Structure 1
């Protein structure tokens, strides 16, 4: 019986394994999935996890619960030796191990792109994983608690200053949701005033949200600034040493919370530790049918999809274009990849990946959103409702849909929960001090690479 090895349990990897389980005949192939995390993160919900509108665990889909016929290996693939049909896995505990396979599916995802900016590695938090969204939320809530006990001044101002770097979807949605959360928190903190909030969104280009056209993008900037945000276009962060942010425009300010969302970088394992072909960006070279290789030189028994692969975009009017790294493509690529593997196993031809965009939708905070499909643009509350409706349908499994809906319905009557659990990152403090311990500042959680 052949072994199909899936590297990475993100969108593309999860959906590939999930659909293969349903389509494989008994005894036709054995499935193995390797990922250091025991769950798939539904990333479109991370901004709402940050804002407390979605419970953190509900944005994570358990691999073991839903992939019942797949062997899950908890570890990170560190090397792919396709010539010998084996991978090297570094587990959380114990020595490295070698796993053999007959067919490999590389869906290792991308990592947060980091730039050599002084202080960023020490101060900033990414927003690619559930743990990071929770840490951002807890740090913001903790900052409000600490600021409320201080007199107006530089330290209080620093605690109430938040900086998002990157004006793509993750940055704008996270910025909008955190601004919405902070504004609603003021009702519970009479000691603080809205004029003391400083929310900065920094973008190196002359516009945000490149997925939408110019006028809707300009409307988003106006909407965020009307609500108290400050959008810095054509600006770069030159330094963030000790939380002191210096911009290329000359602006300087102290910021308690810095969130880094400047886009994806190539997965180091795919870029440096595989004998499979990669392009100049460090992405896996993939054909339109998701087989690794080129039209002239396909690589036998190797497939790829998702953010680590340069999948040709056959729906684009620009020759040679690749699909953008987003959930809309990764989910559909995973589903097609499973069908194509089945087709090849049974002697049929695989189909090319073609997907025409369903439009772009983003949340900008509670009751605020933007949607665009070609020339159709919807703004405000209707777009926000469309965002919620689309993603509750898109999140996999009915179990997760019902849990998310339950939290949203509860929030209609009781609002968002504003309890910070930052202390869970130091669970032994109360025990070692006999319970007599003053709260300390939340230490940052560094972004971890994907499998």
Structure 2
């Protein structure tokens, strides 16, 4: 029986394995998925996780729950030797070991793109995983609690200052949702005022949201500004040492929370530790039918899709363009990849990937959004409803759809939960504080270590 190895359990990897389970005959092939996380993250929900509109676990789809006939390995593929059809796996516990395969599917995904800016590695938080989204929300809630105990001044202003770096979809949606949460929180803190909030969105280019045209992008800037946010265009981040933000425009301010959403970079494993072909950007060279290689020279038994693959965009007006690395493409590529693998196993020709965009939709906070499809632009509340409707349909499995809808319905009746669980990141602090605290001395109590009464006699 052949072994199909799926490297990465993100969108493309999850959907590939999920569809392979449904299409493979019994005994036709076995499927293995290697990923360090036991779940697939539905990233379009992360901005709402940041705002508390979606429960964190509902933005994660368990691999073991839904891939019931797939072998799941909790680990990371650190090298691919396709010439020998072997990968090196670094498990969560234990030593690295080789793993053989017959067919490989590389869907390792991209990684967060970082720059050598002083202070970023020490103070910034990304927004690519559920854990990061939860940490961002908890940091904001904790900052409000701390600021409420301080008199007006520089320290209080720092706690109430938030900086997002990067004006793409992830940054703008996260910025809008967190701004919406912060303005709603002010009503719960009579000690604080709305004027003390300071939200900054820093973008190096002259516009935000490159996926939409200039008009809708400018409307988003005006909308965020009207709500109290500051959008810094043509501004580069120079330093964030000790939380002190320095911009190329000359502006400086202290910020308690710094969120890094600059974009994605090619997966280091793919372009540094693999013998599969990559392009100048370090992305996997993939044909239109998702086989690795070029039209003239395909690589046998190797497939790729998702954010780490340069998939030709046959629906684009220009030639030589690759598909945009987003969920809309990754999901559909994963489904087609599974069908194509099954087709080749049964002696049929694979089909080419062609997908025409369904449009662009983004949330900008509770009740606010933007949608564009060609020249059709919808703004405000209708676009926000479209965003929620589309993504609740797109998130995999009915179980997740029902859970998300239930949270939305509860929030509509009772409002968002504003409890901070920052202490979860340090779960032993309370235990250690109690263990190290001296016991209170009672009148007439014997010295510590001296047994009396029944305890001494026993």
In 2, distance between residues paired with 1:401 and 1:130?
17
Partner of 1:40: 40
Tell me the distance in 1 between the aligned counterparts of 2:204 and 2:54.
30
**SS in structure 1 of the partner of residue 37 of structure 2:** coil
Give distance in 2, aligned partners of 1:225 and 1:192: 20
1:117 is paired with a residue whose SS is coil
Match of 1:167 in 2: 167
Distance 2:424 2:332 in 1: 37
- Give the secondary structure class of the aligned counterpart of 1:355: coil
**For residue 259 of structure 1, what is the aligned residue in structure 2?**
259
The answer for unaligned runs of 5 or more in structure 1 is 438-451
Question: Hey, what does 1:398 align to over in structure 2?
Answer: 398
- TM, length-normalised to structure 2: 0.95
The C-alpha deviation readout for 1:329-372, integer Å capped at 9, x for no partner, is: 00000000000001100100000000000000000000000000
Output the CA distance in 1 between the equivalents of 2:307 and 2:90. 22
Deviation at 1:97, TM superposition (A): 1.2
Write the distance in 2 (CA, Å) between the matches of 1:37 and 1:360: 29
Q: Deviations over 1:425-444 (max 9, x none)?
A: 1111111111899xxxxxxx
In 2, distance between residues paired with 1:176 and 1:271? 34
CA distance in 2, matches of 1:318, 1:245: 40
CA distance in 2, matches of 1:20, 1:35: 17
- SS for the counterpart of 2:93 is coil
Unaligned segments of structure 2, at least 5 residues: 438-458
Alignment of 1:121-136 (within 5 A): 121-136=121-136
Q: CA deviation at 1:378?
A: 0.3
Question: Helix, strand or coil for the counterpart of 1:118?
Answer: coil
Q: Distance in 1 between the 2:420 and 2:107 partners? A: 34
CA distance, structure 2, for counterparts of residue 364 and residue 65 of structure 1: 32
Please give the alpha-carbon distance, in whole angstroms, between the structure 2 residues aligned to 1:261 and 1:436.
Answer: 41
Aligned to 2:62: 62
- 1:332 is paired with a residue whose SS is helix
Match in the other structure for 1:215 = 215
Distance in 1 (CA, whole Å) between partners of 2:433 and 2:274 is 49
Q: CA separation in 1, counterparts of 2:27 and 2:300? A: 22
State the Cα deviation string for residues 195-223 of structure 1 (Å, max 9, x = none). Answer: 00000000000000000000000000000
Q: Aligned partners of 2:435, 2:127: CA distance in 1, in Å?
A: 32
Q: Which residue of 1 aligns with 2:455?
A: none
- Mapping of residues 316-327 of structure 1, within 5 Å: 316-327=316-327
SS of the residue corresponding to residue 84 of structure 1 reads: coil
Note the C-alpha offset of 1:31. Answer: 0.4
Distance 1:93 1:435 in 2: 30
Which segments of structure 1 move beyond 2 Å, counting only runs of 4 or more? none
- How far apart are the structure 1 equivalents of 2:427 and 2:3? 41
* Equivalent runs, 1:399-438 vs 2, <5 Å: 399-434=399-434
- 1:387 positional shift: 0.1
Q: Which has the higher contact order (CA 8 A, sep 6+)?
A: 1
Tell me how far apart the structure 2 counterparts of residues 245 and 91 of structure 1 sit (CA, whole Å): 38
**2:295 is the alignment partner of 1:305:** no
How far residue 68 of structure 1 moved from its aligned partner, in angstroms, is 0.2
CA distance in structure 1 between the partners assigned to 2:397 and 2:320 by the alignment:
35
The 2-side partners of 1:436 and 1:264 are apart by: 45
1:339 lines up with 2:344 in the alignment = no
Q: Look up the match of 1:203.
A: 203
Q: Which residue of 2 aligns with 1:85?
A: 85
Max radius of gyration: which structure? 2
Q: Does 1:242 align with 2:242?
A: yes
Name the residue aligned to 1:441: none
1:268-279 superposed matches below 5 A: 268-279=268-279
Native 8 Å contact 1:170 1:261 kept in 2: yes
Q: Could you report, residue by residue, the CA deviation over 1:249-304 in whole angstroms, capped at 9, with x for unpaired residues?
A: 00000000000000000101001000000000000000000000000100000000
TM-score with structure 1 length normalisation?
Answer: 0.96
- SS at the partner of 2:377? strand
**Equivalent position SS for 2:122:** helix
Please say if residues 430 and 436 of structure 1, whose CA atoms lie closer than 8 Å, have aligned partners that are also in contact: no
CA–CA distance in structure 2, aligned partners of residues 271 and 227 of structure 1: 43
CA offset at residue 39 of structure 1? 0.1
The match for 1:112 is 112
Q: CA RMSD in A?
A: 0.8
Q: Deviations over 1:373-428 (max 9, x none)?
A: 00000000000000000000000000000000000000011000000000011111
SS in 2 for 1:433: helix
- Pairing 1:232–2:232 present: yes
**Cα deviation digits, residues 45-82 of structure 1 (max 9, x gap):** 00000000000000000000000000000000000000
Structure 2 residue 143 is the aligned partner of structure 1 residue 143: yes
The equivalent of 2:446 in structure 1 is none
Is 1:30 matched up with 2:52? no
Secondary structure of the 2:417 match is coil
| Residue 447 of structure 1: aligned partner | none
Cα displacement (A) at 1:92: 1.1
Map of 2:387 onto structure 1: 387
Cα distance in 1, alignment partners of residues 185 and 436 from structure 2: 28
Structure 1 SS opposite 2:31: strand
User: What whole-Å deviation, never above 9, does each CA across 1:142-176 have from its counterpart, x for those lacking one?
Assistant: 00000000000000000000000000000000000
Query: In terms of mean alpha carbon deviation, does 428-437 or 148-157 score higher?
Result: 428-437
SS at match of 1:20: helix
